[in-house]
Amino acid sequence: MIELWRSGFNGVPAAHGSQFAELNANQVATLYQDVPTTPGSKLYWRLDHRGRAGQDTMALDIGAPGAVVEQRRFTDGNTAWGAYTGTYTVPAGQTVTRFAFRSVSAAGGSQAVGNFLDGIFFGTAPLVVLTKTAAPTGPLEVGDVITYRIRAANEGGGAAEALTLTDAIPAGTTYLPGSLRIIDGPQTGPKTDRPGDDQAYFDAQGDTVVFHLGDGASADRGGSLANTADLPGGTTVEYRVTIDRAAGGRRITNRATATYENRLGPTPEALTATSDETATEVRPAADLAVVKAADATTVTVGQTVTYRITVHNSGPNRATGVTVGDPLPDGLAFLSAVASPGAYDPATGRWTVGDLADGADATLVLRAKATAPGRITNTATATGAEKDPDPANNADAVTVCVERAPACCDPCSTEDASVG
């Protein structure tokens, strides 16, 4: 039999919360609990003890039910709570462990008075598990946005203290400003991108996002994350990146990392957690650029206009299925074409280039005869099978002014005829 007292009973405040126990109710008693345990695991225990009338003594017994072993004894007076911590390794084959708090003696010798007990904890150390996802799942294109979500759950026993999550922005991507959010868990909501302003921020110098998580988190430090018995969902954060041109044809991967402390023992123990790896496939990209020029921009009817069209692949990947459309407008008659590589079809005005390596050029020399006067503009436009990260430079146009041919001179003028 035990007694439970509200904080302030007999002038004694609770060490934790709003109530505490007294082991000696009307007899020398033992308070215990049996819990399922994993053999070989390391358990932490913690308790606060205080005498009532003077120096009281209690013992902590741990072991299999019916075979507990005294671990320690605690003797405290009635002026302050004594705080104690320790560890216990579960023996082989012991799947149930009893934690027993046993009254040994009480000041004055009364069995009904003595041994206040509070702040009891027994369990494993905190164990933060990080789960990271990337959406959409891909494959994606250069310029697309990836949303990363990271869930931190404490699957251990004690709270994970000073919890800080960091995630380096993956190579080949750029952080999207303003995208930091804490989706659920303690202290949710959008966060700023400036260090020192909030519990989450983007570190531009380190190209890293930083989240201070848990109850009591601030701009300076991480907070406390309860285990999944108290906080089943843990806490989830989110940020976004844009896929850079350099990532074309590549696989974007990265992992998040968390640091936290186990404070169940006498001194804080630094711990780390690493998420699973996310992988996003990026389709190849090829930046095609067209430059077109004419040997002369003013000609007369009947003269030949020579065009030189160059298509260049700035990558980052090989361009496949490259074609350049360059049909001749009215007023120009096809004469010849020399393509390197590929071939030009004058009926369709299509130059079939084929594949073009990163950094390679292809050139078409096109000759046409001016057949009618006027301003003639024609445009060469390149396309390929891959996404072009800069379509603005895929076309180029040239305007040629065609003038009428000069009239032939009369070999005989009026004045010459009169003389004859």
Quick one: 301 and 369 in the same domain? yes
Name which of 171, 150, 239 is nearest 202 in CA terms. Answer: 239
Average pLDDT of the segment spanning 301-312: 96
Average pLDDT of the segment spanning 193-219: 85
Q: Is the model more confident about 117 or about 110?
A: 117
The one-letter amino acid code at 224 reads S
> 3-state DSSP call for residue 123?
strand
* Domain-embedded: residue 415: no
Quick one: 18 and 98 in the same domain? yes
**Is the backbone of residue 178 left (phi > 0), alpha (psi -120 to 50) or beta?**
left
Quick one: 114 and 192 in the same domain? no
* Domain-embedded: residue 408: no
pLDDT at 408: 56
Quick one: 144 and 270 in the same domain? yes
* Domain-embedded: residue 420: no
Quick one: 255 and 389 in the same domain? no
Quick one: 154 and 260 in the same domain? yes
Check which CATH number belongs to the domain holding 267 and give it.
2.60.40.740
Quick one: 133 and 272 in the same domain? yes
Number of domains in the chain: 3
Find the domain containing 203 and state its range: 128-281
Q: How far from the centroid of its chain's Cα atoms is residue 29's Cα? A: 54
Check which CATH number belongs to the domain holding 389 and give it.
2.60.40.1530
* Domain-embedded: residue 54: yes
124 pLDDT exceeds 80?
A: yes
* Domain-embedded: residue 394: yes
Residue 362 pairs in a beta bridge with 311
pTM of the predicted model as reported, rounded to 2 decimal places: 0.79
Quick one: 360 and 382 in the same domain? yes
Quick one: 90 and 117 in the same domain? yes
* Domain-embedded: residue 417: no
Quick one: 256 and 386 in the same domain? no
Quick one: 228 and 180 in the same domain? yes
Quick one: 317 and 266 in the same domain? no
CA distances from 109 to 2, 76, 340 (A): 17, 15, 107
Average the pLDDT over each of 107-116, 253-262, 385-394 and give the range with the smallest value. 107-116
* Contact indicator for 308, 293 with CB cutoff of 8 Å: yes
For residues 175 and 368, what is the distance between their CA atoms, to the nearest angstrom?
51
